[in-house]
Structure 1
Amino acid sequence: MKDLVSIITPSYNSAEFIEETIQSVLSQTYQNWEWLITDDLSKDNTVEILKKYNDPRIKLHVLEKNGGAGNARNKSLERAEGRYIAFLDSDDYWHPDYLQTMTNYMQDHHVELVYCNYSRCNEQLQPVLKDFIADRIVTFSNLLKTCRLAPVSTMYDTKRVGKFLFPVKSKREDHVMWLNLLKEIPEGHPVPQTLAKYRMRENSVSRKKKNIIMDQYLVYKDFMGFSTLKSLYYTANWAMNGFMKYSKIFN
């Protein structure tokens, strides 16, 4: 029997987009999954939409207090029973062969962490930037300068590495978690196929680069324990690479 995949999703006020996300999971060719959705006290009808789907693999938990995406992901991770951990935010989208392709690669190549290409789309899931390409092996060292790993396109094997939680006191919790994981393993491997769509919403915090320079600095200073000078060096590298990452816009 195929190994169980635990899909980790935080949801918050996602009613406008979440049905597309749900359909992308239900359409997966790899069907041995559990979907742990932790709703962060949505104020819209996100929870009502999720409750319409009568599938025992969809496991919804609604928090009593809003705690942020990192905390919501952690609540799902704590309940996850699968060998493989996959992340899907409540407004993103997977191609039908995402889970099958990613698990096949890990099993065939005996690796702990994989990531793939993904389309960078507007709110209607139409591409607005060139696809992000998974084109190199990721290590702790090169991940310090730019975060090539996105939740929508990355999977890891808990049998080989265990579970990794997100720091709830960082607004750059994804980057900190990936760095902590790559302290424990030599590398993550690219799967050079476009298997996911990342929805770039107008109000997305992750797109407001000028507002998160300090948050990124704290990734190095507080969470990695680097000196001030070393933290500034990596922050500058991250900012430059981030500019390049989002500069090639269609049209």
Structure 2
Amino acid sequence: MLKVSIITPLYNAESFIAETIRSVLSQTMDEWEMIVVDDCSTDRSAEVVREVAAGDRRIRLVRLEHNVGPAVARNRAIELAKGRYIAFLDGDDMWSERKLERQIAFMKDRDIALSYTDYYRIEERSGRRIDLIRAPEKVDYRELLKQNVIGCLTAVYDTEKLGKVYMPEILKRQDFALWLKILKRVPFAYGLNEPLACYRVRSASVSSNKIRSSLYNWKLYREVEKLPWYEAAYYFGWYTFRSLRKYR
């Protein structure tokens, strides 16, 4: 079986997608496929993918007929995936060249179903490192509710242990919802303390609006996880406290 399927939703990232794909092409592990799902981009994103991936059959471009959002785009890629391991990399982020080699070895050695790693946050245009986000050694469902410590660009899960697990098709926080979904089935997700990815901080992203971002967390607690209001308030308090401490 093919080792890793890389899930890449794409929307108007023509300035960054070439660098993203090159970071995959440079991987020291070569048993992978990359499924790029273009969610009706209005720029040259799809054309750039074709240009950079020309001649490499491991990279597949799928174009959706309607703009449906990243959850549906990712789920379409998961549906098509043939690899044992499902990894996530958005169209503006990057991996270090040993990312797959190190993380798959980590998961095999410790018999892990879901893993994640440290990563750098970088500036949108210059690529300069802003800070390093450390991965806790492990996290369970209840602890993750307090704060999403799993960077989507670092996450990998094992379909041999879990089967294919799809993202809830919500507007935002779909990655957070997926990790919670998995952690209802396994006791822990485990972190590898090596910075193996770079997350591009884009000024236009929803996560840059902290108030609006926090409201999506509340909706996740109440509408997806179906927590009673008092439990949702408890975890929302933790989320707010940790966010303020992180960004002060």
Please indicate, yes or no, whether the TM-score normalized by the shorter chain is above 0.5: yes
Q: Structure 1 stretches (4+) deviating beyond 6 angstroms? A: none
State how far apart, in whole Å, the 1-side matches of 2:202 and 2:247 are. Answer: 14
Equivalence for 1:161: 162
- Percent identity (aligned): 37
Alignment-mate amino acid for residue 84 of structure 2:
R
RMSD: 1.2
Deviation at 1:168, TM superposition (A): 1.6
- May I ask how many residue pairs the two structures share in their alignment? 245
Deviation at 1:174, TM superposition (A): 1.2
Deviation at 1:3, TM superposition (A): 4.8
Q: Deviations over 1:69-110 (max 9, x none)?
A: 111001100100100010000000000000000000011111
Deviation at 1:135, TM superposition (A): 2.7
Equivalence for 1:33: 32
Q: Equivalent residue of 2:9, what SS?
A: strand
Q: Equivalent residue of 1:36, what SS?
A: strand
State how far apart, in whole Å, the 2-side matches of 1:157 and 1:84 are. Answer: 5
Confirm or deny: 8 A CA contact 1:170 1:219 kept in the other structure.
Answer: no
Confirm or deny: 8 A CA contact 2:137 2:192 kept in the other structure.
Answer: no
Equivalence for 2:97: 96
State how far apart, in whole Å, the 2-side matches of 1:99 and 1:139 are. Answer: 23
Equivalence for 2:152: 151
Q: Does residue 125 of the first structure (1) align with residue 124 of the second (2)? A: no
Deviation at 1:15, TM superposition (A): 0.3
Confirm or deny: 8 A CA contact 1:112 1:161 kept in the other structure.
Answer: yes
Confirm or deny: 8 A CA contact 1:84 1:157 kept in the other structure.
Answer: yes
Equivalence for 1:12: 11
State how far apart, in whole Å, the 2-side matches of 1:122 and 1:246 are. Answer: 15
State how far apart, in whole Å, the 2-side matches of 1:166 and 1:38 are. Answer: 15
Q: Equivalent residue of 1:144, what SS?
A: helix
Q: Equivalent residue of 2:227, what SS?
A: coil
Confirm or deny: 8 A CA contact 2:33 2:58 kept in the other structure.
Answer: yes
State how far apart, in whole Å, the 2-side matches of 1:143 and 1:170 are. Answer: 20
Equivalence for 1:56: 57
Q: Equivalent residue of 1:96, what SS?
A: coil
Deviation at 1:171, TM superposition (A): 1.5
State how far apart, in whole Å, the 1-side matches of 2:122 and 2:200 are. Answer: 5
Deviation at 1:32, TM superposition (A): 0.4
State how far apart, in whole Å, the 2-side matches of 1:194 and 1:171 are. Answer: 25
Alignment-mate amino acid for residue 22 of structure 2:
Q
Deviation at 1:244, TM superposition (A): 2.3
Confirm or deny: 8 A CA contact 1:111 1:188 kept in the other structure.
Answer: yes
Q: Deviations over 1:11-48 (max 9, x none)?
A: 00000111110110000000000001100000000001
Alignment of 1:224-239 (within 5 A): 224-239=225-240
Q: Deviations over 1:193-250 (max 9, x none)?
A: 0110000011111121111222111111111111112112211211221222333xxx
State how far apart, in whole Å, the 1-side matches of 2:81 and 2:2 are. Answer: 13
Confirm or deny: 8 A CA contact 2:136 2:149 kept in the other structure.
Answer: no
Gaps of 5+ in 2: none
Equivalence for 1:222: 223
Deviation at 1:127, TM superposition (A): 1.0
Gaps of 5+ in 1: none
